[in-house]
Structure formats: C-alpha cells, structure tokens
Amino acid sequence: MELSERKKAILKSVIDSYIRTGDPVGSKSLTESKQFSLSSATIRSEMNDLEAMGYLEQPHTSAGRVPTAQGYRTYVDSLMEKYFLGMEELEVLDEVMSGKMVEVGKLMDEAAKAIGQITNYATFAFMGGSGSAVDRYETVFVDENSFLLIMICKDGTIRNRHVKLMESITPDLLETAKKALNETLANLSADQINLTVILEFEEKMGEHRSFATTVLRVVHEMLGSYDREKVHIDGVTKLLSYPEFMNVAKFQSILSLFEQRQRFAELMQHAVPGQTSVILGDSEQNEFALPDTGFVFHPITVGGKVVGAIGVIGPQRMDYKKVVASLDYFAAGLTEQISLPEVTTEVQGTHEERKITHGGE
C-alpha cells in the first residue's frame, strides 16, 4: 500500500504529538487539533492503514497509536520540519564557540554540555586516536612563562597545547626549539621517536637542556593522548526523567555503551562526513541500536577525514529536529575553525599579535 500524502501528514502529526507529550495518539485528538479537515472516522481509518503498514502500533487495545522504528525512520528521513534554533539556544552554542579554548577536544566537551542543556538529553563527544606522523611543528610565544606548541599532522589534524613554565623563555629560544623539532622530529610518529632522535634534539638545543626536556615531555604527552580514543559523556542522569529509562536494564545498557570506546571508533568508520546520522530503536541493523532509544551523532572532519563526533542519546521519541539542528550548527562552526591549514603571525607596530587560525586536540 502506498504511503499517500495524507497518510504522511497524519503520520507526521502523530509523531510530533507523541514526541511532545509521550502519550499515545488517537484519532479524536487529531480531529480536535484542527490540523485536518477530515472526520474522526477517516483519520481512524488512515491510522489503521499506517498500523498495518508498520508505521504505527497500538500499545493497548483501547489506547491510541505510537510510532514504530519504521515510522520514526520515515519521519526523520522525509517528514520532519527544519528546526530553527532560538536566540537563547544560539547564544548557548555561540558562547562555547567564542571561548578562548585552544584545544578542540575541550571545545567539544563544552559543546556536549551545551547541547545537553538545550535538548535535555545525554550527550557525548568522541575523539578518535591517530597514529599519524607530524608534518611540522609551530610555536607561538605567549609570554615569558608560556607558549603554544602546535603539531600539524600529515592526516590534516591540528593538535596544540598551551604550555606554562616555571622558568623564563624568549621568542628566540622558542624559535630555536621550533627549528630543532622540525629538523629532528618532523615526519615521525610517536613510536619512531627513539633515544637517538631525542639525543639529536637535545644537542641542537645546546645549553638549554632543561627546556629541551620540557618540550620533549609535552610532545610525548600530546602524541600519546591523541593515539587513544576519548569519550566525554555528559548528562546521563537526565535520561532517568523519561519513562523509557525507568527500567534499570535499559539504563544499564546505555551506561555499558558509553564505556566501550572501541565501539565509538568503529561507528566513526561508517560515518558520512558532514552528515548527521540517526539510529533508531533496536530494529535497525546497528550495534548502537537499543530498545526505545534514539542515537544521533554528527562526525567532525579535518581534511575530509572523520576524527571524532559529537552526539546525543535519548528516548526514541526525542525531538529529532531540535537535536539535528543543534548538532549541525555546532559541527559547521567547529569544522570551519579547524579546517584552516596554516598558523599566521601578525606584527603591528611594537605590539606583537599572534593569531591561531585553528585549534586541535
């Protein structure tokens, strides 16, 4: 049986109502909503057809209908309206994007909290590991006790760290360190930096052995931390406010999912750059599909490669249009920030102003 335009409109109305209230939807409520110039009997007949086609189901004999995973899939793919974020919602996300955080991982963590605040669902930020070699190193002098160390990797990812020191440094010393890093450590991955490489770097740093040790320690930490998957979870307890997760077994299955970093890494391998993915219920062939649960994520890409994702998990009747709009807005802003390939330095008069055109963790 064909899904006619009228059936699509009724299905959309049922799902919108169920997302909003959590109550099964009957033909009478649709008639009273004044959305359709149809009799209750006609709407009931159409809902019967939608049930027979697998888009709706009736949880109890005398109750109204609720969407099935197939119904939600049709809704997400072709029926739901575009959601426009309100001023307050935009302000929450823009505040994160305008923050002075130079590490993308921290930025994504803060964004996960902000999106959780907007949607009232659990959120996650995932950063995949990378064994890519470093193409070149850049340093930026901040003040006499701190600097930025930047790695620009061959896979297009950008990593940086704000390093604070007890001893004083100068721009000239920082320039020497950058040159030594690029002459000895460029084009090497973490497992290729051996004792011979370390001794060569220290030799190029001359009398500044103490600073050389600090730089090597930071390089080691940065390469090591980026070679491990990271998952930041926020707002899991928010799920307990939804009837769907009052079942302890269902809630534990979500906790178990968040604990398995490798599963996130595997999911990212199938992510489509620039596209939000929605996984519904447990009827879809995906290991992230859980009963009565919706799982939505947007991959973060650098140089066309997926390096992580930010996402939301909630009841299957979650407000998908708001969730998708929030993820799309943040991902677009973040991708724009980290896709710029160079680090520029601008000098104006006697005031030295350095501008990092991207950040990364």
Find the CATH number of the domain harbouring 92. 3.30.450.40
Q: For position 45, what pLDDT does the model report?
A: 94
Name, in order, each residue with C-beta under 8 angstroms of 188's C-beta and a sequence gap of 6 or more: 133, 134, 197
Token pair recorded at residue 117: 């605040």
Do 220 and 274 have their domain in common? Answer: no
**pLDDT score of 125:** 86
Pair 120, 260 in one domain = yes
Smallest Cα–Cα separation from 332: which of 269, 270, 275? 275
Quick one: what percent of the chain has pLDDT higher than 70?
81
Do residue 194 and residue 219 come from a single domain?
A: yes
The confidence band for 303, taking pLDDT boundaries of 50, 70 and 90, is: low
Domain count, the chain: 3
Question: Is residue 62 in a domain?
Answer: yes
Residues 6+ apart with CB under 8 A from 232: 105, 108, 109, 112, 124, 125, 126
CA 276 to CA 234: how far, in whole Å?
A: 19
| Together in a domain, 45 and 103 | no
In a domain, 343, yes or no: no
Max avg pLDDT among 228-232, 235-239, 281-285: 235-239
- Measured CA to CA, the distance from residue 28 to residue 123 in angstroms comes to 36
Of the candidate ranges 113-117, 165-169, 264-268, the one whose mean pLDDT is the lowest: 264-268
Which residue range is the domain that position 107 belongs to?
87-129+229-338
pLDDT-based confidence at residue 192 (cuts at 50, 70, 90): confident
Q: Which long-range contacts (CB under 8 A, 24 or more apart) does 263-270 make?
A: 263/287, 263/288, 264/124, 264/126, 264/128, 264/229, 264/231, 264/309, 265/126, 265/128, 265/129, 265/229, 267/297, 267/309, 268/126, 268/128, 268/299, 268/306, 268/308, 268/309, 269/306
Q: Within this chain, do residues 144 and 281 fall inside the same structural domain, yes or no?
A: no
13 and 102 co-located in one domain: no
| 132-141, 287-296, 298-307: segment of lowest average pLDDT | 298-307
Quote the pLDDT of residue 229. 60
Pair 111, 240 in one domain: yes
